[in-house]
Amino acid sequence: MPPPRPTTSPDVLKSRLEARLARQRKQDLWRERLSMSPNPRAPLRDFASNDYLGLARDPRVAEALAAGARREGAGAGASHLVNGHFLVHQALEERLAELTGRPRALLFSTGYMANLGVLQTLCDGETRVFQDRLNHASLLDGARLAQSPSRRFHHRDLNDLERLLRRAPREPAKLVVSDGVFSMDGDTADVEGLAATCQRQGAWLMIDDAHGIGVLGEQGDGLVGQRFSTQQVPVLVGTLGKAFGSCGAFVAGDDVLIDALTQFARPYIYTTAQPPGMAHATLRALDISEQEPDRRERLHAHIQHFRQAAEALGLPLMDSATPIQPILLGDNQRVMRWSLGLREAGFMVGAIRHPTVPRGTARLRVVLNALHESDDIKALLNVLAELKFREAKAS
C-alpha cells in the first residue's frame, strides 16, 4: 500500500512567508541590517545608537570586560541557578539595588527577557494588566504570553487609566505597566501620577526605565530611582546596554518580588547567565557614570542646543526632553528619503516606521550622546535643513 499523501504541500509555509515578505517591501517597511565597523573608511557619525553616555567604546570599560574574561572565562557556562552565578554577578546586583534605592536586584540576559519574566511571574491568568498604548513591544508581548486580561490606556492619560481601573473587578490583582522614557517618542511617564492612581485603585505599578537609567536623575538613577519607594513603584526594570554601554538588564524591588522572579521567571531560570566579563564591564561603567557626572551634564546641554536650533529651522520635532529627539515625518517613503539623504551626508539616524510606531507617524529618531561635539550637532542640523529645503523646492 502506498504511503498516504500529505494533506498540504510542504511549500505552503514557504509560500506564505514569501507573500508576507513581498507585502513588507511593497509597503516600504523592509528592514535592513548595516554591518558596522569601528574604523570604516568613510565613518558615519552616530545619531542612532542608545549609547547615551558614550561608554560602549570607552577603553576602561573594554579593559574591564577583557580582564574579567581572562580571569573567569568568556562565558558563564550555565544558568544562574546551576553554577553560572559568579561573585561578580552578585556584586553587580547589589550595586544596581543601591543605585535604584531598592532592597535587591536580579540580573537578566536582556531587557526583553526581564520584561517577559516579570509579566509571566506576576500574571497568573487572572491578574488584570493595564498598559500605556505606546509601551515597548516586550511589555506588550509579555502580557500576551502570560494570557492575562489586558487593557491599554491612552498614552500618558491618567484619567483614562483610572477609568479602566475603576471598571475592573475588585477581586483579581491589578498591574499597571508603563515605560519610563518612551523609546520612540522620547517623552516620559508621569510616575508620580501613576503611583498615586495605583495606590487609590489598589494596583501595583511596574516601570520599565530602560532609557532613563544612567541618563536621568542627579546620580543617574533614572526616572524612578531614589525618588520613588518600592511601595510607590514595586517593580522597576532597567537595562545595561544603553547608558552603561554593556548588555543585559535587571529588575529591582523588594525581597518578595526578587524571590518570586528567582523561583518562577522562566526567562531567568532557563537560560545561560550573563558572561562574567560583561558584569565586570558594567561595574566599571557604573563607576565612570558616578565619577564623571559631567557626561550627563554635557548630554543635557546637547539636548537643549539641538531642540532650540531644530525648532528655529521649523523641523517637526516631537515633545521630548531626553536624548531621543524624534522628527515626525508621517510618511514611510518620506522618512526613507530623509534617512538616505542623511546617510549619504555621513550621518546614521534611525528611520522608524510601522509597526514600531503607529501608522502615519513614521519618524527620524535622532539620538544624542555625551561624545557628540557641538560641530557634530551643527553639521547634522545643516543636513536636515537642506533636506527640508529640497523637499519644499520639489513640491
- Specify binding-site residues for substrate: 31, 136, 356
Residue 352: CB atoms within 10 A of its CB come to 20
Q: Which residue has the cell 546596554?
A: 241
Contact 253, 235 (CB under 8 A): yes
Q: With CA atoms as reference, report the closest residue to 185 among 361, 338, 7, 35.
A: 361
Q: Which residue has the cell 543636513?
A: 383
Contact 216, 322 (CB under 8 A): yes
Count of all residues that appear for the chain in the document: 395
Coil vs helix vs strand at 132: strand
Cα(241)–Cα(210) distance, integer angstroms:
9
Binding-site residue set for pyridoxal 5'-phosphate: 111-112, 183, 211, 239
- In DSSP notation, 104-120 reads EEEEESSHHHHHHHHHH
Instruction: Fill in the DSSP letter of residue 226.
Output: G
Q: Exposure of 14 by Cβ count < 10 A (0-12 exposed, 13-18 middle, 19+ buried)? A: exposed
As given in the structure block, the three cell numbers for residue 271 are 537560560
Binding-site residue set: 31, 111-112, 136, 183, 211, 239, 356
CB neighbours of 265 closer than 8 A, spacing ≥ 6?
Answer: 117, 118, 120, 121
CB neighbours of 212 closer than 8 A, spacing ≥ 6?
Answer: 180, 181, 188, 222, 223, 224, 238, 322
Helix pair 111-122, 137-146: axis angle to 10 deg: 30
Cα(266)–Cα(55) distance, integer angstroms:
31
Coil vs helix vs strand at 343: helix
Q: With CA atoms as reference, report the closest residue to 211 among 115, 73, 324, 70.
A: 324
Cα(109)–Cα(346) distance, integer angstroms:
33
Cα(185)–Cα(133) distance, integer angstroms:
12
